[in-house]
Structure 1
Amino acid sequence: MGREVSPRPEASDGYGAPYSALAQVYDRWMAADRVPYEQWLGFTGKRFVESGLEVRNVLDVACGTGMTIKALQDHGYEVTGVDASASMLDVARTRTAPGTELLCLAVPDERLAELGPFDAALVCFDGANYLTGQDALATTLHQLVGALRPGGVLVFDLSTRRTFEEIAALGEFGEDFGDFAYIWNTRHEPDTPVYEYLVSLFVPEGELFRRSVEQHAQRHFTRDEVHNALRATGFTDIAVWDNYTERDATDTSRRETWSARRTTGSIPR
């Protein structure tokens, strides 16, 4: 019998929940020539090796349509996937190995800590930027500590304030892929770290196009906020890199990639 799953995230203000419609075109939108999945996997594999652990089983949080899961499985890892969107997980089931455990959980969720123990955990492609609630990052990190075995590896990325400001400066923009199109609008209150996005998706339906509008909310974090949250929740050996490269993150980084290890000592409560 499968584990209990969370319901789909609720829509608000009449808009669809994140990825409820985008799931059907997400892989075309984020194709391999636009997103360097192999680079991400190479970076992550190096962090696994540096840990000195024999990493075999991995938890992929915000796994989406399972692109990263499939890549990890192709390299021999056992992977469990978690995502807030049931629609994205439906696509992931068509790609991942038979029997792959895929759970619909909107983190933070206390059940995350009950899934392990895992040798490593990943939160890729801005999944952690969706942690907009007060203390949501620290709560999720605490739950990931519970999901990892002592010494387990955590790798996650975060888009930076610079990236959010660049997107907001574009105002309304869009792209036509031929078989679908989208329009993106950003809403942002000055002096706050949270940005709201309205994504209008147009998909052919007969001779017309069906329009769906989703509401997304993400936020940026300062480097001190992330570092302090990692330390406070039981992570050590903390490092931050420039977008899945071997370069240190700087103030001009558009995406920061963090790595850390669960303490082998007692976990802070």
Structure 2
Amino acid sequence: MSYQQFAYLYDELMKDAPYDEWVQFVKERCVKYNVLGTRLLDLACGTGELSVRLAQDGFQVTGVDLSEDMLAVAQAKAEDAKVSIPFFQQNMADLEGQADFDVIGILCDSLNYLQTEEEVRSTFSNVFQHLADEGIFIFDVHSVYKIAQLFINQTYASSEEEISYIWNSFAGKSPNSVEHELSFFVLDERTGKYERFDELHFQRTYTIQQYSKWLLEAGFELLEVSADFENLEPQPESERIFFIAKKYK
């Protein structure tokens, strides 16, 4: 499967994602916590949808992702949008060689793709090292409730003329983890037949207390924990948890 096909499938799966809300969230937190600069690192940027939108809103964006194919699509999007974004292929748990940033974001629950506690802690440490003094770190994750109650043993499906998918989720081997088994059926306009593509994705989350502890160990001051874009404290059935942390001099 070529990267164009994979990106088409990914963007189709994410077409209803609240990208505008993520952008607004970042902008509001920059104002709230007096971030003066605009240098922003979009870690695990994927196909660049947020990178492009943030650049269009005035940020000096750099994108980093593990997937070479995703980055190729992201670069094409940036060129189409006529914004200049340097993209680099790196694992966020092994981040190195980047300049200091005023804002670093790991958005769209991308942190949940790290499989071990050690990778999360290494990522936090690397983010701290790449933030400028007074810079902020913003990330969001799936809640434990969402993994356990809304993903595990659930099936989701979409049926449209050009592309359909079946999405089955199963409990992972690690605590608070899930495996997503995705089967896409894409219409080949040349033959009129559907072609099947399969993807397997792993996600793992932790409690708010655990993320908070790791942030403090990395040197951050935790400024805020909220849920579901609502600027409210997380509740037992909150689905998406947001963390804001700052690096002080």
The structural deviation recorded for 1:191 is 7.3
Which residue among 24, 31, 34 is the counterpart of 1:52? 34
Which residue among 179, 199, 207 is the counterpart of 1:214? 199
Corresponding residue of 1:193: 176
Q: Which of the pair has the greater relative contact order for Cα pairs under 8 Å at 6+ separation?
A: 1
Q: Structure 1 residues 22, 163: closer, same or farther in 2, change over 3 A? A: farther
Which blocks of at least 5 consecutive residues in structure 1 are unaligned?
1-15, 265-269
Which blocks of at least 5 consecutive residues in structure 2 are unaligned?
none
The structural deviation recorded for 1:207 is 2.2
**2:29 matches 1:65:** no
Decide whether the 8 Å contact of 1:22 with 1:201 is kept in 2. no
Mapping for residues 118-267 of structure 1, pairs under 5 Å: 118-165=101-148, 166-170=150-154, 172-189=155-172, 192-205=175-188, 206-264=191-249
Distance 1:219 1:248 in 2: 22
Aligned residues: 242
Give the letter aligned to residue 215 of structure 1: L
The structural deviation recorded for 1:84 is 1.8
Decide whether the 8 Å contact of 2:183 with 2:197 is kept in 1. yes
Decide whether the 8 Å contact of 1:203 with 1:209 is kept in 2. yes
Corresponding residue of 2:24: 42
Q: Structure 1 residues 20, 241: closer, same or farther in 2, change over 3 A? A: farther
Decide whether the 8 Å contact of 1:160 with 1:256 is kept in 2. yes
Decide whether the 8 Å contact of 2:141 with 2:242 is kept in 1. yes
Distance 1:35 1:189 in 2: 24
The structural deviation recorded for 1:247 is 1.3
Extract structure 1 runs of 4+ deviating beyond 3 A.
19-22
Q: TM-score, normalised by structure 2?
A: 0.90
Decide whether the 8 Å contact of 2:179 with 2:201 is kept in 1. yes
The structural deviation recorded for 1:87 is 2.1
Give the letter aligned to residue 226 of structure 2: W
Give the letter aligned to residue 78 of structure 1: Q
Residue by residue over 1:31-74, the C-alpha shift from the partner in whole angstroms, topping out at 9 and shown as x without a partner, is: 2xx22222221121111112222121100011111111111111
Distance 2:40 2:17 in 1: 21
Which residue among 19, 30, 52 is the counterpart of 2:14? 30
Give the letter aligned to residue 203 of structure 2: Q
Corresponding residue of 1:3: none
- The 3-state SS of whatever aligns with 2:234 is coil
The structural deviation recorded for 1:134 is 3.3
Q: TM-score, normalised by structure 1?
A: 0.83
Decide whether the 8 Å contact of 2:41 with 2:104 is kept in 1. yes
Distance 1:192 1:20 in 2: 34
The structural deviation recorded for 1:190 is 7.2
Cα RMSD (Å) of the superposition? 2.0
Residue by residue over 1:220-245, the C-alpha shift from the partner in whole angstroms, topping out at 9 and shown as x without a partner, is: 11011100000000111431111222
Give the letter aligned to residue 180 of structure 1: I
Decide whether the 8 Å contact of 2:215 with 2:222 is kept in 1. no
Structure 1, 85-94 or 121-130: larger mean CA deviation: 85-94
